[in-house]
Amino acid sequence: MSTESPLSTARRFAEANVATLSTDLLAWHKQTTLPEGCLFHTLAELCRVTSGDTDDEYQQAETLVVHAALEQATYVDALFSALAKYAARGLSPTLTETELAEIDDLVGKRPLPPAVDVAAVQGRLGALISTIKEALQDERAEQC
């Protein structure tokens, strides 16, 4: 018999499956329904024991997923920052193949920075250059 509390079991389940549960949660928010058999239902069932009469097990499951996702995001950012500091100093930590695969997986989940619309930037720079050229030509014309 397990000595772990039902809340701890649910929390560990959320941490172990945070990527899939986050996807389920986002789908739930967009579609307002959860597909049958998705992992989020399993987490909600684990939360049923800990939710009181006033609490909804799905809301408690949502809270656990959000918390696990925030913790993972913090961990990934800290890991990325630490590795960047090592690399900046020319150091290379020794990691096993499994650790490298886990890091690749975590770093791959980092959100990408917003894309830059190069054409729009070039257009704005072109317009700025044209304005500067016109201003310089006007200034030269006034001096003559």
pTM value is 0.55
Residue 26 belongs to a domain: yes
Residue 1 belongs to a domain: no
Residue 141 belongs to a domain: yes
Question: Can you tell me the mean pLDDT for 77-89?
Answer: 75
Q: Taking a C-beta distance cutoff of 8 angstroms, is the pair 88, 71 a contact?
A: no
Question: Can you tell me the mean pLDDT for 83-102?
Answer: 73
Residue 29 shares a structural domain with residue 94: yes
Residue 89 shares a structural domain with residue 143: no
> What are the residue ranges of helices labelled H in 54-117?
57-88, 97-108
Q: What does DSSP assign to residue 20?
A: H
Residue 40 shares a structural domain with residue 54: yes
Count CA within 13 A, CB hemisphere, residue 116. Answer: 5
Residue 127 shares a structural domain with residue 61: no
Residue 95 shares a structural domain with residue 144: no
Residue 19 shares a structural domain with residue 42: yes
Domain boundaries, position 44: 6-112
Question: Can you tell me the mean pLDDT for 62-87?
Answer: 81
Question: Can you tell me the mean pLDDT for 89-114?
Answer: 68
Total domains, the chain: 2
Give the whole-angstrom CA distance, residue 56 versus residue 72. Answer: 25
Residue 54 shares a structural domain with residue 79: yes
pLDDT digits (tens, 9 = 90+) for 40-67: 999 999 998 877 665 689 999 999 999 9
Residue 108 shares a structural domain with residue 128: no
Residue 43 belongs to a domain: yes
Average pLDDT, the chain: 79
